[in-house]
Amino acid sequence: MNVEQLNREFGLPKLLNFFSDDSGLILADLAGGQARLCLQGAHLMHWQPKGQAQPVLWMSREAKPVAGKSLRGGVPVCWPWFGSRSADVPAHGYARTVLWQVVDSQPLPNGGVRLTLCWSQDAHPLWPHACRVELRVEVGCDLRISLMTCNTGNQPLEISEALHTYFRISDIAAVRLHGLDGVDYWDKAAGRSELCTQDGSLSFAEETDRVYVNSAATCMLEDPGLKRRIVVEKVGSFSTVVWTPWVDKARRMGDMGEPDGWREMLCIESGNALDNTLTLLPGDRHSLQVHYQVT
Ligand code: BG6
């Protein structure tokens, strides 16, 4: 569908407007501009609820929509695998670069809006399985995102997944992350091959890349600099990935926003990865739901 057809069928006055930018990709403004989503990747690029002086999601200063390329920031959808599966396939799967279809839009009783997108396949060159995936975004004073996978084929499916959320913070050295005390994790940055156990809350002084497993715990990001707390509450997600690239990796990546864009972001990713990889039998569905609130 083009922009006119999308607006005719799904547009909602003051709540949902589709438009295309210089790249030719179609974007959607939600809730009067409080949020923006790119249909490529079903990628939420921006969320700044009323009353917040700064966006809640971080987006690299250098990011701009480009066909076939994921944006650095916002909420990339990692699916049908999380992380690097092998050298010849893209890290974090391909959902973040394919074009999703809009299937529904609804005004919400709280004055917000819900937009539902879908990706369905009989097979894909990188992953030859039949399935249907739905991403639902609800924007109001808080944000809810759900990612639902249904196995529409006749073979069991193995998936790992994550909503790879980049949060805008005042300074990486000043924030604390609560909620993971006692939870086991794989330490990717340190390259350890045994599980570690979190002791207390997290603060950050170096590259951190951890996959916390077997816990659906609510996390709370405390940011004294921006005088706010971000609460990440989830259902159907048993892994939490915590990632900050720090200076050297950010420089190698080259798209974090010079000179120190990386200092103003922290990823808290809700998903199912490693030990929590899912197996969906034919006809099964799994739903990962995350609720983000700012206080
Ligand atoms: C995180 C991984 O989820 O994503 C990191 O744990 C990775 O290892 C990061 O560097 C960014 O991945 P990408 O593919 O978007 O550069």
Dist. CA 70–CA 73, nearest whole Å: 9
Dist. CA 82–CA 94, nearest whole Å: 10
Ligand 1 binding pocket includes 241 (Cβ within 6 Å): yes
Q: Given ligand 1 and candidates 59, 187, 209, 252, which is best to mutate, with the most ligand atoms within 8 Å of its CB?
A: 209
Buried b vs exposed e over 148-180: b needs ≥16 C-beta within 10 Å? bbbbbbeeebebbbbbbbbbbbbebeebebbbb
Q: Which of 95, 92, 44 is nearest to 65 (CA)?
A: 44
Ligand 1 atom nearest to 72, measured from its CA? 15
The protein residue with its alpha carbon nearest to ligand 1, atom 14, reads: 91
Ligand 1 atom nearest to 162, measured from its CA? 3
**What DSSP letter does each residue of 100-119 carry, written as one string?**
PEEEEEEE-TTS-EEEEEEE
DSSP-derived secondary structure letter, 6? H
Would you write out the chain's pLDDT as a tens digit for each of its 295 residues?
999 999 999 999 999 999 999 999 999 999 999 999 999 999 999 999 999 999 999 999 999 999 999 999 999 999 999 999 899 999 999 999 999 999 999 999 999 999 999 999 999 999 999 999 999 999 998 999 999 999 999 999 999 999 999 999 999 999 999 999 999 999 999 998 999 999 999 999 999 999 999 999 999 999 999 999 999 999 999 999 999 999 999 999 999 998 899 999 999 999 999 999 999 999 999 999 999 999 9
Q: Tell me which amino acid residue 175 is.
A: V
Question: What's residue 258's pLDDT?
Answer: 87
